[in-house]
Structure 1
C-alpha cells in the first residue's frame, strides 16, 4: 500500500480506528467492519453484484449524514440511481489517462475528508484506453489520496478480465480486495486482502446465504467449489514465442472459442501430445497413460494452474493419472460421489533452476551431486543458503495469487521431481513435504509459503536423496524439482485441522501374517489424523494394518490390540500455526468428534467392545481400532476397488496415499493425494530352508517378514547391543546412527555382505525406540534386523507401508524383526555376547562406542564359517545360520584392517 511517511505516522493504529458499517452486518462480521481510509475493490462477474453492495453502503452513509459521491464514467448501466444525499459527478475518460486522472484528483480534493465514494467499473477503462496497465496506474494514483483523506471508496473489476500485473498493482495499493462469484447457483464471497485486520476465517470463501454467511471450512467442500470455478486461476501473463507458449496458446484459443473442429484431427492429436510431453516429460509408460487418460481440457487446466513453466514432476503426474483412471472406469458413476475433486497447483520445474542460478546455488548442486557424503551440519548450511534465496518478482506475484486462491485453508507444499514416483524409482521420503497452516495476514502466509518452497528445493540436495540417486545410477541424469501444492484434507476441530482418516494402500500385500490372507488383494495402513504417521516411523504408535481380503483379521489378538494401536495424532494447530503431535485421548476428551464410533472401541469389563451408538462414555478407556469403519462401511471394499482398477491400467502393482472421511451414515469420501508404481520383491519358488541345520549354528529366526531372499557368504555383522543401548546416555544414542553410517560407507568399498542388527525400530525419529539411522547410512547392508526386547521397550513395528519399507524393498535388503523374549524363538545371545569387536580397527577415533556397537568378523567368531540368511515370504519363516563357506575366501584380519585403513 502506497503511503508517505506522514501518513504512516498519522494512521499507525489503523485497526483501532472507529468501525464503519458497510450496511451489511454479515460483511462487517467477516472483515471486522470498514475503517475510514479503506478503499474496497470488488472483483465481480456481474455488475449487479457490485451494485448490491454499493447501494447498501451509500444508503447507510446517507442515514448517518455523511457526504456521498458517485463518480460516473462508464458506458454501462448506472451503479447508483439519483437519491437525496447523493451527488453524481461525471468524468469523461475519452480525453485520455492524464486528463481523467487529474479530474478525479481535483474532485477528491474539492470534497475533502471523510467522504463516501462509489466508482463505476474500472474494467471499462481498459476498453476506453486500449491498455490494461493504465487501469492499475489510475488506481495507484487515486487510492493513496483517498486513504490520506480518510474516505471510503468502492471500486470494482470484472472478474478474470485483467492481467496478472494489473491486479497485482491494484492489490498492493488497496486496503480491501474482495472476490465475489457464483457457482452452481450459489454465491460466495472471498476476502483476498483486508489491511490490518485478521481472524482465522477472514480469508476463507464464505457461502452467502440467509442471515449467516458461513466460511467453507471443510476441505472437501472447498475443493468442490473451487474446482467448479472455470475462470483462469493464474492470470494471463505476457505471451512468449517459445514452443511451450505457442502450442498452449493455439490449443487454448481453439478450445475457448469452440473451434477445435476446424483443425485437422491429426494436428489436434499432435499438438495435444506435444503439450503433454512439455508438461509431463518423456516417460514412455506415463506418456501412454497420459495420452489415454488426460484430456485436452485436463492439460489446459494443468497449465492454467501452473506457476512458471517446465514440467510438473512424477508425484503430480501420478496423482492426476490415478484419479482420472478411477473416474473413467466401469464404476465411474459410483466413484463420482466418492472421489473428492482436487484443486492442486503446480510450480513448474523451470522455476527450480531459475531460483538456483539467480541465487548462485547451481554450482553447489553440481559439487554435492559428485560428492560421496555430506554430514547433517553441512546439509543444514545448504538449507540456510536456500532459505536466503530470492524469487523473481513475477513469480512472487503468482505465488501471491495462489495464496489468495486458498485463503486461510491449510496447504501442503510437496516435492514432485522429474524422477520421483517413476517405475522402479519411488524416491519415497527422500524429498521434503512441508505443511503450511496458512494462518495470519496475507503477507505472513506468503512468507511461510515461500519458506516451505525453499526447503523443498533444498531437499533435492539432502544426503539421502543424493545417496539414493547414486545407488540407482541416476546421479548424472536430469533431475529437476517441480512442486505440487495441495489443499490439506480435513476440517477444523477445536483449534486443530486434520483429516479423520489417512493412509497408504498397496495393491499387493507383502505382509501376510496368516495364510488366510490373499496377497493379491492388497493392504491398507490406516491412521487417524494427518498421514505423516502412516508413512513415517514415529512415536510409540502402530497404525491399523488391514488386509483387503480379510479386513477384520489383525496381526494381534486379545488385549495386545490395545498395545499395538495408535495413541498420538498429527494435526495442524491453527492457533500456534504449526504441525503438532497430540494425544488422541486429549484431542477427543469430550468424545464429541463427529462419527467417533466408527473409529474407536472402548474397554468394557476387561474386553474391547465396539460402540453401537454415537454416545460414548468418556470415562472408559478408548482405543483407535477403526472396527466399525471396517465392518459397517464400504471403506475397505472401495479402497480395494481403487487398487484393482489402477493396477490393471498401470499393468503393475501400485501404492496410493489417500485421505478419507466418513459421515454419520457411513458414506465415504476419498481424496487420492499420490500414486506410484510399487516395488515388489522376487518370488520364493526356489527359497527353501534346510531341515538339517544344527541348533548350535542358528544365530536367530524370525516369523514376521515383508520381503524375502537368500544371502550367502555373510562375513560381518554390525550388532547394536540392545541392553547397552538401553542404558546409554542421550548423546551416545544420538550418535549411533552416524557411527553406523560410517561403518556402512566403509563396507561399501569392499566386496562383502554384512548384517545390521539393532534394538527396536531402525530409522525411528525417536532414539528411545531405536537407532535413528537414515537411508544413506544403511543402504549397503544385505539384512536389517530389529531386535525386540519388550522388557526394554524395544518393540519393532512391521514397517510395511512406510517410506522406510519402500527403501529396503527397492534395495533388496531383507528385513525381519527378531523376538528373543518370545517362546519358541531362536536367538543365539552367547554368539553376539562373546564374539570379538572390530570397531576400534575400523573407526579408531570412535572406540568409546565399543560398549554399544560391535562389528563381528563372522569367520573369526565361528572358527572359519560364514553366515547364511534364508527368508521365505510365503511361509513367513526366516533363519540366519552359520556354515562353512561354499567359496574359498582368503581374507585375513590384518589384510581387512589394511583395506579399511
Structure 2
C-alpha cells in the first residue's frame, strides 16, 4: 500500500475486508470490542520497566497465573491484591470495601498494563472501573450491553514529576496554607501551561496515540479527591476533547496541551477556593488522568454519540405526585454529554423521571416543542474542534442516523408547510418519545442506577452514552460514576400549621428540588424582578457582586439559613436571562428560588444533573 506523503482521516484506523474493499471501522463500540478481544501486552515503550513498581506488578502476574492453574493459595492472592489496591487505587476504607467485592488481582494487572507512569489512577478512574465491574458481576446482560472500555491511565506521580521539572513544586506548596493558598497561583498556572514532559513519558504518549489511531479521545481529570465520598469536585477541573486528527506531530502536541491545561486547572482560583471551603488544603491532592475513547461514530465530518446524559439514582425533582424519588431520573441530550452537565442558558434538555418517563412538566405538545433541545455539541473532525450546531443541521448531515427514535414529527409544521407550498421544511423535534416508550432503555437505566446504588450503599450519579445499531440493538458506555452528594435535614417532625394569608411573605407554587425543609430563615435576599429588568447589563453584574458581599456578611455574622429569591436563572452567564453570580458568591446559601418572571415566555431549564446543581 502506498501511503508515504499521503493522508486520510481513516488511514490509521482498523479496517475490515468486505468483498474487494477494505472499509474503515469507525464506531467506538466496534473498535474497542475488537481491540479488547485480543491479549494486550502493554505499551511498547514500557521495555524500560526495571523499577520496584513494575517488578511488583510482574510478580502479581506470576501469582495470578499460578492461581488460575490452582498452584497458588487464595490467601496469597488476597494479600497481594490488598497491597496493590493501596498503591494504585486508594486507601479510603469506604471505596476499599467496594473494590474488594468487585475487582480482582487480574483487574489491577490490566490497569498497570494500560498505565503511563506510576502512582494512583484517581477518583474518576476508580468510579468508571467500579461501575463496569459492578454491572457485569450483577447481571450477565450487562456483559453484552456495556461498550468495551480500553482507557489509559496517567498516574498521579507524572503530575509531581512535571511540577518538579518545570520549577513549580515550591510555589505550589503555598496552596496548602489557608492564608496563602491563592498567592502565586497564577504564576504556577502559567509555568504549567508552558512546561515540558520527560522524554520517556512522551514516548509512552506516542504509543498510546498509535493505539487509538485517529479515534477521537477525551482527557479527563482524575484527582485523588475527585468523585470521592463527600467531595465531587464537579466541574472544578478541566476535561478536554482531542479530535485526534491530522499529522501525528500535531495530534501529539494537542494531547500534551490538553494535559497541561488540566494540570493548570488545579491552580485555578475556583478549584483552590473549593478545597479551602471544604478544609482540604492540607490533603495531598495529586492529579491523575483518565484517557478515554470518545463514544460514538462519525457522521460525515461530525463525530458524536447518539445519546448522552446524567443519571441520578435518587430523584430530588418531583413535579408531580406520581413521581417516585427512589426510582431515579436522567437528564438526556442528543450528542455529546457536555450539554447535559453544563447548563445552557437558552436551550433545554429532557429531564426524565424513570418511574414515569412520559410525564413531562409541559402539558401540551406546543409546550414540549418550545422547551426541547435545539442545539447539539459534537466534534467537527474536519475543523478539529468541539463545536455547537443546530439539531436540524446535524440531523440533515448525518446519514444513517435513526432519527425517528429520538425525534417526533411536528404535525403543525407539516400542515403549515403544505398550506403555504413550502418544500424544504425540517419538521422534527427532539422529544426522545420513541426511545422512552418503545425500547428497553428506561428499564436498563433504572437497573443500572439501582445496581450501582446497592453496591455503593448510597445514591449515585453517573454519566453515560448510548449508541444504537441494527435492529434496535444498542450499547451503553458508563463513563463516570460517583456518590451523589445529598445534603438534607432528615424527616420532617414539625407539624405545618395553617398560616393566615396576611402573614404569608412568599409562597412557592412551582416544583421544589431537594428534600423538604422546615426551618427558620435568618436572612432573605430578594431581587425584585421588575426593578432588575430595568437595569443595564453593567448594573446587573454589580447586583451579582453585591449579593456575594451580602452572603459573606451573613456568613461573618454566623447566620446559617440564607434565602435567595431572584428572577430567571441563578449563575447564568447571560444577564438578560438571570443573575450572573458565581457559585463561590452564593455557596453559603441554604434556599435558592428562581422566579419565572425575567421576561415573558422564559422558563429556565432545570439545573438538576449539572455541575452547578451538584455544588
Same fold per superposition (TM over 0.5) = yes
Q: Given the alignment of the two structures, is residue 527 of structure 1 paired with residue 527 of structure 2, yes or no?
A: no
Pair 1:487–1:590, CA change in 2 (3 A): closer
Q: How does 1:460-471 map to 2 (within 5 A)?
A: 460-471=266-277
Identify the residue that residue 259 of structure 2 maps to in structure 1: 453
Alpha-carbon distance in 1 for matches of 2:536, 2:184: 25
- Specify the alignment match of 1:754 in structure 2: 562
1:784 matches 2:592: yes
> Larger deviation: 681-690 or 629-638?
681-690
Partner of 2:168: 361
Structure-to-structure mapping, 1:356-435, within 5 angstroms:
356-370=163-177, 382-435=188-241
CA separation of 1:457/1:591 partners in 2, compared to 1, >3 Å: closer, same or farther?
A: closer
Taking structure 2 as the reference length, the TM-score comes to 0.92
1:515 is aligned to 2:321: yes
Task: Please report how far the alpha carbon of residue 574 of structure 1 lies from its aligned counterpart in structure 2 after TM superposition.
Answer: 1.0
Partner of 2:30: 221
Q: 1:404 to 1:591 in 2, by over 3 A?
A: closer
Asked if residue 712 in structure 1 is aligned to residue 520 in structure 2, the reply is yes
The answer (yes or no) to whether the contact 1:227–1:343 under 8 Å persists in 2 is yes
SS at match of 1:648: helix
Query: Per-residue CA shift, 1:756-792, capped at 9, x if unaligned?
Result: 3333222234443333333222111222222212635
CA-CA distance at 1:652 after TM superposition: 1.3
Are 1:309 and 2:114 matched, yes or no? Answer: no
Alpha-carbon distance in structure 2 between the residues aligned to 1:722 and 1:405: 56
Partner residue of 1:564? 371
The count of aligned residue pairs is 603
Would the alpha carbon gap of residues 367 and 744 (structure 1) be closer, same or farther in structure 2, given more than 3 Å must change?
farther
- Change in Cα spacing, 1:733 to 1:381, as seen in structure 2 (3 Å) is farther
1:795 aligns with 2:603: yes
Q: Secondary structure at the match of 2:283?
A: coil
> Corresponding residue for 2:80?
271
Q: Which residue of 492, 497, 505 maps to 1:698?
A: 505
- Correspondence for 1:769: 577
Query: Residue 349 of structure 2 contacts residue 605 of structure 2 at CA under 8 Å; is this kept in 1?
Result: no
In structure 1, distance between residues paired with 2:169 and 2:544: 30
SS at match of 1:685: coil
C-alpha displacement of 1:689: 4.0
Following superposition, the deviation at residue 257 of structure 1 comes to 7.3
Matching residue of 1:319: 128
Unaligned runs of 5+ in 2: 416-422
Gaps of 5+ in 1: 1-26, 35-195, 609-616, 808-901
* Mapped partners of 1:289, 1:431: distance in 2: 25
- Change in Cα spacing, 1:518 to 1:460, as seen in structure 2 (3 Å) is same
2-side partners of 1:593 and 1:790: how far apart? 41
Which secondary structure does the structure 2 equivalent of 1:409 belong to?
coil
Does structure 1 retain, via aligned residues, the 8 Å contact 2:67–2:73? no
Tell me if structure 2 keeps the 8 A contact 1:534–1:802: yes
2:462 — aligned with what? Answer: 656
* Cα gap change, 1:259 to 1:672, in 2 (>3 Å): closer
Equivalent in the alignment of 2:293: 487
TM-fit CA distance, 1:702: 3.9
| C-alpha distance 433-687 of structure 1, shift in aligned 2 (>3 A) | farther
Q: Per-residue deviation at 1:538?
A: 1.4
User: Which of the two has higher C-alpha Rg?
Assistant: 1
CA RMSD of superposed structures (Å) = 2.6
User: Is the 8 Å Cα contact of residues 711 and 782 (structure 1) preserved in structure 2?
Assistant: no
For residues 408-431 of structure 1, give each alpha carbon's deviation from its aligned partner in whole angstroms, at most 9, with x where no partner exists.
111111111111111222121121
Output aligned runs, 1:533-612, within 5 Å: 533-558=339-364, 559-589=366-396, 592-605=399-412
Q: Is the 8 A contact 2:413 2:427 kept in 1?
A: no
Q: In 2, distance between residues paired with 1:385 and 1:473?
A: 26
Work out whether residues 127 and 227 of structure 2, in 8 Å CA contact, stay in contact via their aligned partners in 1: yes
Using the alignment, how far apart are the partners of 2:180 and 2:431 within structure 1?
Answer: 43
Shift of 1:198: 2.5
Quote the offset at 1:306 in angstroms: 0.6
Residues 687 and 709 in structure 1, CA contact (< 8 A), matched pair in contact too: no
Residue 660 (structure 1) shift: 0.3
* Distance of 1:794 and 1:778 partners within structure 2: 23
**Cα pair distance change 1:390/1:679, threshold 3 Å:** same
Of stretches 640-649 and 256-265 in structure 1, the one that deviates more from structure 2 is 256-265
1:293 equivalent to 2:102? Answer: yes
User: What do residues 392-447 of structure 1 show as CA deviations (whole Å, max 9, x unaligned)?
Assistant: 11111111111111111111111111111112221211211111111111111111
Moved more, 281-290 or 658-667: 658-667
**Structure of higher RCO (CA pairs closer than 8 Å, 6+ residues apart):** 2
Separation in 2, partners of 1:563, 1:374: 46
Deviation (angstroms), 1:748? 2.9
Distance (whole Å) between structure 2 residues aligned to residue 548 and residue 424 of structure 1: 26
Q: 1:395 and 1:606, CA in 2 relative to 1: closer, same or farther beyond 3 A?
A: closer
Query: In 2, are the aligned partners of 1:206 and 1:215 still within 8 Å (CA)?
Result: yes
